[in-house]
Structure 1
């Protein structure tokens, strides 16, 4: 074959190469576009699914918060109706309109009895107020309020309870202290009711820009998987209340069993407030 014939044959094959090469590139471009569109649709669907799950969780948390508040209102209403109401009604009986027609001795005795009943009603209302916002927490802060709780638990003699605050020179805001106190209160109550622990210990500290609380006990406890499961179901009202308060605090809570398998640990961490 001469040189001219070789060039001629190759010249005929060049258009075919260009044709198939262009077709391959075009097919690859279409496949890439289809893949990108499909992948983006999958991402959008996943994001929408996550958004729906987040909205559903928010609804459950809101329902739990409303239910908790409603139960608290019903408890307060019951205390006022069943205890304070009868006390005040009895005091009114002593101070009826016929009292002015009684002898002085009878009047003094009636006034004294009414005063005792009114004092009892005042103390009852103070107790109700204390359950809403403990005076120790309001006046002296989280450390004093938690120490007071642990002293009462330890004084019962049924469990060894101890509490240690290592670094609480600057208090959290009143709202955060109350939320954190309610979380700790719920955790302690659950431990006392369900764990059958022989000891419970709480420590507080600061780690760089984090405020933390650690609760240790040697009874039956839950792990993070259990918490994540029960915090979103209707039966787990206590855990949902904890979760809703943790979320308001923008904090993290973890439940774990120590590697030694001898005790459970609950950790609460929240960012420190920047001084104004």
Structure 2
């Protein structure tokens, strides 16, 4: 039999072992809790940083739109009136010139006037504020089609009223996608589709151009000079919309923007 001293030693060893296990468990719990707290703090800071970047981007885009609207109005009102006055004055001055020369000058002034109107409309379409997104995208496609460019528009569903902010963002995305297909993809056919559903809006631009390597990360920028995708992604983020890229068959690209529609 073990003596009292040996029994006390076993008891002290057992108590000490339990104490060490308890301390080890406490340390593990403390470290896990600390790491979780640090992770939550990091996520909170990232969320705050993302929200700050979102607000900063939105402020920049709003400033751009205000400047575009101002320049568009100046071109339409001031420059437009000056061109009309120039046309009247020019025709009065050259009224004795040969008919061929008068027609050439009149044609030149008309082309300049039309170019100014087109630039003014591209900067800020008046139809966007007056009639809304659907009619403005339709008008954009018709204008391009009349200039001999292969752009077609298709509408599905019944349009739902959106905020002016969201309509401007979606219209700029449409411009970006169509311009990319025309300038860089060298497409001979571009289809713009607007699909209205009860719970979402889908904007899709499909072309049969040369296509590009589909993005594998948010930092990849294949469009144009590298800013095209960044511009699209930035606006999609502001809309809380989903931006997707797919290969078109047999060639080209399909870019889709899906915007959830909130009701109530």
TM-score normalised per structure 1: 0.64
| CA separation of 1:12 and 1:224: change in aligned 2, threshold 3 A | same
Which residue in the other structure is 1:256 paired with?
A: 246
- Structure 2 match to 1:203: 193
2:72–2:124 Cα contact (<8 Å) kept: no
Note if contact 2:221-2:228 (Cα within 8 Å) is conserved in structure 1. no
- Deviation (angstroms), 1:38: 3.7
The structure with the greater share of residues assigned to helix is 1
Change (3 A) 1:66 1:141: closer
State the match for 2:98 in structure 1. Answer: none
Partner secondary structure for residue 254 of structure 1: strand
Correspondence for 1:176: 166
Q: Residue 150 of structure 1: SS of its match in structure 2? A: helix
Q: Is the 8 A contact 2:185 2:252 kept in 1?
A: no
Q: Is the 8 A contact 2:191 2:206 kept in 1?
A: yes
Residue 25 in structure 1 maps to residue 18 in structure 2: no
Aligned partner (choices 34, 42, 45) of residue 42 of structure 2: 45
Give the aligned CA root-mean-square deviation in angstroms: 4.3
CA deviations 1:17-76 (Å, max 9, x no partner) are 112221221233123313422442244235435543553465355445535654665576
Q: Which runs of 5+ in 1 are unaligned?
A: 95-119
Match of 2:184, SS state, is helix
The structure 2 residue matched to 1:267, chosen from 249, 256, 261, is 256
Partners of 1:33 and 1:173 lie apart in 2 by 49
Structure 1 residue 147: Cα displacement: 2.5
How far 1:249 moved relative to its partner? 3.3
Question: How far apart in 2 are the matches of 1:124 and 1:196?
Answer: 23
Question: 5+ unaligned residues in a row in structure 2: which ranges?
Answer: 91-109
Deviations 1:143-172 (A, max 9, x none): 33323322333344453x322111025443
Structure 1: distance between partners of 2:133 and 2:54: 29
Aligned match of 2:214:
223
Aligned residue pair count: 241
Which structure 2 residues correspond to residues 1-276 of structure 1 after superposition, within 5 A? 5-6=1-2, 8=4, 9-10=6-7, 12-49=9-46, 51-52=48-49, 55-56=52-53, 58-60=55-57, 62-63=59-60, 66-67=63-64, 69-70=66-67, 73=70, 83-84=79-80, 86-87=82-83, 130-131=121-122, 133-159=124-150, 161-207=151-197, 209-219=199-209, 220-221=211-212, 223-225=214-216, 228-230=219-221, 239-258=229-248, 262-274=251-263
